[in-house]
A and B are shown apart, each in its own frame.
Chain A
Amino acid sequence: MAAAPDSELIVRVVEHADRDAFDLLVRRHQSAVRALLRRLTCGDHALADDLAQDTFLRAYLKLHTFRGDSALASWLYRIAYNLFLGEVRRRGPLRPALDGLPEPESPRPREEALLLDLERAMAGLSEAERAALDLCYKKDLSHQEAAWVLDCPVGTVKTHVLRGKEKLRRLLAPGPGKVTP
């Protein structure tokens, strides 16, 4: 069953309440969903994991409504993003926690250090910009797919991506104490 496609596992969950099938779905998608939420929560791993768990719980309860118009991963991202927005509405804008990121003073390979800098710089973007960049680049979704996940027009996604990249360029620009690519 481990090699079964998502669609087959979904049928098993919906029609037979097969928990082993849902177990496989969670194992398959947990990393991507948690990575998205960690980025959205600016590195607050505990909150990200709580939201990821809520995402899968909601997915389990609503799986019978999944029509397969999008990939399951996109559907999960959409749930995760909505839960994240609910959390932001509830507690206000999240402060960068970055607890999962190692301190920069330790010597590390150049490329790794650059990626860490990028991760820190991402915390300086708005929630929508972070989400749009993550979906369009890390998750390799099209603008249309990202627009569906974020529930906004395609043009808005493109704007978020452009603005996000512009801000990142500024934040990563050479300066005192900054690692230059």
Chain B
Amino acid sequence: MNEPEEQDWLERALRAPDPPIPDAGFTRRTLAALPPPRRQVRRRRRVLLLAAAVASALALLAAGPALTDSFGQLLDWRAWASCSIPWLALACIATVIGLTVSLATDDA
């Protein structure tokens, strides 16, 4: 075969379209491997946050006067030196900050 003819053949063969590959479950498998929809993840996260907030509120209510005392102690910094650190108030503040940050970054 002479060269131009061979080149023509090669060009033709290269341009010949690929036969379509049957899906044969490929799409179904791919869709099944996708991560859960973002909205679903967001909803789950909000439910968890709400549950944490409710649990924290209940715990604070149960703490009652001890919490008030703890906040009073926290505000009176001079009392810090003479007694223990007001852990209850600090835990309460940490919880509020944690919930706020979680909610703020919810849509991020």
Contact = CB atoms under 8 A, between A and B. Distances in A.
A114 B35 CA distance: 43
Given A27-B23, A114-B13, A115-B16, A19 B37 contact: yes
Interface of A is mostly: helix
Given A17-B38, A22-B31, A114-B9, A30 B14 contact: no
Contacts of B34: 19, 22, 57, 60
B62 interface: no
Contacts of B14: 118, 133, 137-138, 165, 168
Contact of B30 (A56, A61, A115, A181): A56
B105 to A, nearest CB: 18
Contacts, number: 76
Interface in A21-47: 22-23, 26-27, 30-32, 34-35, 38
Interface in B2-26: 5-7, 9-11, 13-18, 20-21, 23, 26
Contact of A35 (B13, B21, B27, B38): B21
B58 interface: no
Nearest to A27: B27
A87 interface: no
Contact of B27 (A23, A133, A165): A23
A133 B11 CA distance: 10
B33 interface: yes
Contacts of A145: none
A38 B7 CA distance: 25
Nearest to A59: B30
A138 B17 contact: yes
A6 interface: no
A161 to B, nearest CB: 9
Contact of A34 (B6, B13, B26): B26
Contacts of B78: none
B20 A31 contact: yes
Contacts of A95: none
Interface of A: 17, 19, 22-23, 26-27, 30-32, 34-35, 38, 49, 52-53, 56-57, 60-61, 114-115, 118, 133, 137-138, 140, 165, 168-169, 172, 174, 180-181
Given A19-B34, A31-B20, A52-B26, 8 more contacts: A17-B37, A26-B31, A27-B27, A35-B21, A118-B13, A165-B14, A180-B1, A181-B1
6 contacts: A23-B31, A26-B27, A53-B26, A114-B13, A165-B10, A180-B1
